[in-house]
A and B are shown apart, each in its own frame.
Chain A
Amino acid sequence: MPEALLEVNHLKKYFPVTKGLLNRTVGHVKAVDDISITLQPGETFGLVGESGSGKSTVGRTILRLTDKTAGEIKFKGIDIHSLSPAELRNIRPQMQLIFQDPYSSLNPRVRIGDAIGEALLDHGLCSKSEVRDRVLEALEACGLSSYHIDRFPHEFSGGQRQRIGIARALVLNPELIIADEPVSALDVSIQAQIINLFSKLQQSRGLTYLFISHDLSVVEHLCSRIGVMYLGSMMETASRDELFKNPLHPYTKALLSAVPIPIPKLKRERIVLKGDIPSPVNPPSGCKFHTRCPYAQEVCRSEIPEFRDAGNNHFVACHLV
């Protein structure tokens, strides 16, 4: 069994809720509540969920942009959260992040050539004379041209800025790329361009993706394995084909049926959930989804369902499966 590139074991990230003058901790926002994911090299894993699901927090905690509360994160066998700051800095080029907002993820006062190339210099990955070539190569791989190199972010459109963000991550030759909603802020026609770019890069460079999104149709296109999160917990994980053909968890079924499909007058079984997504400060007891689940039983209210293999590497956390 080849060593997994990324191993997330029982990850928990709780944010304290404070009250009063002395900032007493009165509770916790359980943003990530026992999540386990394994990524093999070359795999693309899609992490899907709505607001409050904790999917973005998972991404950031993996990269140690924020500290974990419990659990283990191993990148190529190395425990990320036990590294010293210097060791962490050294390993960063191998795991990169692509942000959602193309407008705020680039420093408006730094020319994009510098923005892309500076990490190379700081890590001593190449000499000063080689930097320009590496930057040009990354720009080209992302569909931008060389005359863009001395420009500022405000001169580019949203789609182009996202390409710049991708080039910035790519130039370091990472093995793992975590993409946090990278196309959500883009227009439909540009989304398609960027999705294709992700696909092409993955094939040509053998990248491993953790693709975070709320949009199942995007994730279906790019990912080989998909995990569905709700309020910090993993509800279902399966290969792409399995998940779409045979969704087992009621939440997954509801998600799939809620996505508007561009076929007018389409007759399909709609599961419209009742109520709102509960607040992560006060999640429901037992199965977190029971308050909105059309099939909820007594046991769902009282016991947390176990995340088990329902066969075919298809994992679900539901009492009714």
Chain B
Amino acid sequence: MFCTGLLILEFGYREEEADVAVQSNVAGISKPQTTKGKSSLFRQSLRRLLKNKLAVSGFVVVIFMFALCFIGPLFSPYTDNKINMALMNKAPDMKHWLGTDALGRDILTRVMQAGRISLTVGLASMVLSVFIGALLGAIAGYYRGIADQIIMRIADLLLTVPSLPLLFIFGALLSEWKIPTDYRMYIVMLMLSIVSWPGMARMVRGQMLSLREREFMQAAVVLGLRDRRKLFNHLLPNIIPLLIVMATLNIGGAILSESVLSFFGLGVMPPTPTWGNMIDAANNMIDFKDRPWLWIPPGLSIFATVIAINIFGDGLRDVLDPKQKR
């Protein structure tokens, strides 16, 4: 939803409905610009995005996963997660399409419920890290000076520490401090965003620095525009495409990180299912060899979702990359 929000912001909610032919300047080999009719940036970019079949299929898969995980459970008769030892570790059959786990719970339902958690954690941590990272990066890049130094040194510090071990330490601390399992999900979101905001901040700061020197920003100075207007009306709209791409790719990383953490028992703990801790349930040779339905569905879900998000993000980047626009 956040992505859609950003998308709308980016492309503007007013479309130009000009039917007058628009002139353009073709210089040799470069691509000519728009023609008559609806010529908004949004439509241009959308058209180009739709042409990229890979990106579209990525998007479709992502939507499918979301639909499956958030709407799917409504159709399942097994959502009460009752433990039934009689149904323990059954292979897939007509009653349980993906089989059951060690406690007799339906795998398919669990995968869908786990998906809700994993996807929510991924999305939420992305929102948080984009918010923090973009804000700090913008301040650092625009105001420079002391603010820039402080923010960047903190970011550098976090970047030099390898993220996974850091997350493991956080995760272990969570268990030490006996945080209730209900709250763990939210703490994990926080942890993931702490680890990924520096990368965001760096990129936003870099964009800021280069945008500041562009001639239209010099024009803004000569016009005597206020800082607020320069930041929000001029700089931000130019940063949003980059943000969208980074945010999209960030979700994939967040989902993966959460899965790894939960697999090691340092993230979200059972009974709350996540794809990561479902795979952990098959942590012994017997389950791994003889009961593939325990770990393949959650594993495949992670794989498919993350790849689809990345493919879509790449497609978005190809379309929104300013170098392509001219």
Q: Which residues of A contact B (CB under 8 A)?
A: 63, 65, 88-90, 92-93, 96-97, 99, 101, 104-110, 114, 118-119, 122-123, 147, 150-152, 154-158, 160, 165, 168, 172
Residues of A within 8 A of B229 (CB): 118, 122
Q: In the bound complex, what is the Cα–Cα distance between A307 and B229 (angstroms)?
A: 45
Contact B216 A157 (CB under 8 A): no
Contact A157 B23 (CB under 8 A): yes
- Between-chain CB contacts (< 8 Å), 11 pairs: A65-B218, A88-B224, A90-B224, A97-B218, A97-B219, A104-B216, A123-B224, A150-B14, A154-B33, A155-B24, A160-B23
Contact A151 B18 (CB under 8 A): yes
Asked if B173 CB lies within 8 Å of chain A CBs, one says: no
Q: Which residues of B contact A (CB under 8 A)?
A: 14, 16, 18, 20, 22-25, 33-34, 39-41, 214-216, 218-226, 229, 233-234, 237-238, 322, 325
Q: In the bound complex, what is the Cα–Cα distance between A165 and B218 (angstroms)?
A: 13
Residues of B within 8 A of A63 (CB): 222
Partner of A97, one of B16, B20, B222, B237: B222
Contact B233 A147 (CB under 8 A): no
Residues of A within 8 A of B224 (CB): 88-90, 92-93, 119, 122-123
Partner of A119, one of B18, B223, B322, B325: B223
Partner of A104, one of B33, B214, B233: B214
The residue in A99, A109, A123, A155 that gathers the most chain B C-beta atoms within 10 A of its C-beta is A109
Q: In the bound complex, what is the Cα–Cα distance between A123 and B39 (angstroms)?
A: 32
Residues of A within 8 A of B237 (CB): 107, 109-110
Given A118-B225, A147-B20, are A99 and B39 also a contact pair (CB < 8 Å)?
no
Contact B216 A154 (CB under 8 A): no
Contact B219 A105 (CB under 8 A): yes
Top 3 nearest A-B pairs by Cβ distance? A92-B224, A109-B237, A119-B223
Partner of A107, one of B33, B41, B216: B216
Given A155-B33, A155-B34, are A122 and B226 also a contact pair (CB < 8 Å)?
yes
Residues of B within 8 A of A101 (CB): 215
Partner of B216, one of A105, A147, A152, A156: A105
Q: In the bound complex, what is the Cα–Cα distance between A96 and B25 (angstroms)?
A: 27
Residues of A within 8 A of B322 (CB): 108
Contact B215 A104 (CB under 8 A): yes
Contact B233 A155 (CB under 8 A): no
CB distance from B66 to the nearest CB of A (A): 30
